[in-house]
Structure 1
Amino acid sequence: MKLLILGGTQFVGRHIVLAALERGHSVSTFTRGQTPDDLPAAVTRLRGDRSDLEHGLDALQSGRWDACIDVSGYLPRVVRHSAETLRERVGRYLFISTVSVYAPGERETTTEDSPLIELEDPDTEDVRAHYGGLKVLCERMVTEVYGERATHVRPHIVAGPDDHTRRFTFWPEALAAQTEVLAPGDGSDPVQYIDARDLAEFCIHLLEQNAGGIFHTAVPAMSWHAFLNGVAEGLRSQAELVWTPTAELESRGLGWNDLPLFIPRTQDDTALMRVDSSRAVAAGLKCRPLAETARDTLAWSVTLPADQRPTPIPVR
């Protein structure tokens, strides 16, 4: 296939490009050219700024592609403009969304049909405050333009090498560097993620099958006890896990930013960590072992400067 990637130089986009090339497809990326690019020479690099609704997509006016993967769409008006510009020259449009599109609530599991966020102000462009709600509107823009030729992939928190968010990375770093690691809660709270490489391979697989629809990508929910022990196994870490009650964490002012991935069952958005990805598994999603993700993530992270690596949290 001939594939167009809107984005492609960082983390998820980069892994999608590499997965496509590995499977023998030709790839063009469309970026502003502001991020360092170490992609293979076989990639065709197109330049532009999709937020410029007048001339920003000039480089896309003449090409034709079997499919487009949009990894950089956050604002509905920008996504609509890109989708409409490419409508007659792209066979399928795959939009990378997020599991954060769902309205908070108490439910046993989150499926692709669970209630979505509905923004009170659909014209807002505050991505930081309304990331999930804006992704909902972006999905709708793509569906309106492409109909059955639209595919939406809703990834969970993405892990693996090149992860600039450092969320999953915090835990392999802690277990490798500390003899005692503060472990949140009592070990029974649920946690999920998706390796960026598994997400990338699944996206390419969907396009090869010309598959439409909406798909979650996430490993099956596991307990924090299983998660941290799985990370430790991958690293052969002997660190002691010091389980710390949620009330104590709160009294110390420790939350999501300090202990990433941890959402106590007492919060109303705990369903984020009980996402059902059975539809994607049936369509071909394959997830590598946690130990492999932890090992490879740490091997990448330790190559970074110290100020770019996660800061450990004292046990007491």
Structure 2
Amino acid sequence: MNILILGGTQFVGRHIVEAFLDKGHAVTVLTRGKSKDELSAEVERLHGDRNKGAAGLSALEGRRWDACVDVSGYTPGQVRASAEALQGRVDRYVFISTVSVYAEPGRHPVREDDPLSTGAAEDVTEVTGETYGPLKVTCERIVQEVYGGACTLLRPQIVAGPFDHTARYPYWVDRAARGGTVLAPGDGQDHVQVIDARDLARFTVTVTEEQVGGIFNLAGPRLTWAEFLTVLEVTDARWTDPQALEKHGLAARDLPLYLPEHGEQAGLMDVDNTRAVSAGLTLTDPATTARDTRAWSQGAGLPYTLTPEREAALLSVSQH
């Protein structure tokens, strides 16, 4: 197959490109050329910018592909530009969305037919923590409007694995590797759930090859935090009430991935993947995800807000 990927040089897009190449498909990527590009030489590069509307997509003119995978569509303007430009020139449009589209993220578990947030207006262009989900809701609607049954919507939760520049999951594998007493959120009984980027990528290939339409949550094994730190081979965890640490200036981003079990967003760590597994989603062992992420992250120089010095200070004030 000939595959067009919108945004393919970073993290999730890079894994999707490699998964298609592994199955022998020809891959073209459309990028703005602003991110570091370490893709194989066999990948065709086209340059464009959807923020400029149809004018920014001139590189696509006169071409057709078997499918388009949209990894980098965050605003309605971007997605409408590409969806309409490619109408009639791709057989399937696969859109990478997010579990952040759900209106009630505290539900247990979160399923594909749960209510969605109110979509953002099509002229909204600023992506923030507040607008991210509503923007993706509108992007999904545009893709469905243009492609009908010839689209597939994938809703991953937090994605983990090599090349993860977000510094969320990598914080924990890097912190575990450093050893010593680890400041850990909660009491160990809250849950954490991520999807390995390579599992997401393989499933993207599967739905594209098999022309599978519909909506799919993509989520990996659900672990308690105690189980998660055991996977990371942490032997000395200091479980601490995050609310107590807030008094000392600890913010949510300092202990990434953590959502309290009974919090407003706890359902996002309880995402049902039954539909995707039935359609061919396979899951990497959490220990493999951790090992492979660490092999990459130890040389990545990622910036973490919780430095060793600050963690030590917080450990000194936290209760045993």
Shared fold per TM-score greater than 0.5: yes
Tell me, in whole angstroms, the C-alpha distance in 1 between the residues paired with 2:243 and 2:79. 42
Letter in 2 for 1:202: F
SS in structure 2 of the partner of residue 81 of structure 1: helix
Structure 2 counterpart of 1:303: 299
Cα pair 1:220 1:277 within 8 Å, conserved? no
Cα pair 2:167 2:303 within 8 Å, conserved? no
Q: TM-score, normalised to structure 2's length?
A: 0.93
- Greater CA deviation, 71-80 or 4-13? 71-80
SS in structure 2 of the partner of residue 153 of structure 1: strand
Cα pair 1:65 1:89 within 8 Å, conserved? yes
SS in structure 2 of the partner of residue 109 of structure 1: coil
1:4-28 alpha-carbon deviations (Å, 9 max, x no partner): 0001000000010001000100000
Matching residue within 242, 245, 258 for 2:238: 242
SS in structure 1 of the partner of residue 16 of structure 2: helix
The count of residues paired between Structure 1 and Structure 2 equals 311
CA displacement at 1:78 relative to structure 2: 1.8
Tell me, in whole angstroms, the C-alpha distance in 2 between the residues paired with 1:213 and 1:192. 23
Aligned 1:47-62 pairs, distance under 5 A: 47-62=47-62
- Greater CA deviation, 79-88 or 121-130? 121-130
* Structure 2: stretches of 5+ with no match in the other structure: none
Structure 2 counterpart of 1:276: 272
Structure 1 counterpart of 2:65: 65
Cα pair 2:254 2:305 within 8 Å, conserved? no
Question: How has the CA–CA distance of structure 1 residues 86 and 151 changed in structure 2, closer, same or farther, with 3 Å as cutoff?
Answer: same
Letter in 2 for 1:297: T
1:15-71 alpha-carbon deviations (Å, 9 max, x no partner): 100010001000000011121211111111111111111421101011111100000
Q: TM-score, normalised to structure 1's length?
A: 0.94
Identity %, equivalent residues:
51
Question: How has the CA–CA distance of structure 1 residues 195 and 77 changed in structure 2, closer, same or farther, with 3 Å as cutoff?
Answer: same
Cα pair 1:180 1:241 within 8 Å, conserved? yes
Question: How has the CA–CA distance of structure 1 residues 188 and 45 changed in structure 2, closer, same or farther, with 3 Å as cutoff?
Answer: same
1:227-283 alpha-carbon deviations (Å, 9 max, x no partner): 111122xxxx5x411111233233333232000000112421111111101110111
Question: How has the CA–CA distance of structure 1 residues 71 and 173 changed in structure 2, closer, same or farther, with 3 Å as cutoff?
Answer: same
1:106-145 alpha-carbon deviations (Å, 9 max, x no partner): 4221001111111475643221130011000000000000
What is the RMSD computed on CA atoms of the aligned residues?
A: 1.7
Structure 2 counterpart of 1:109: 109
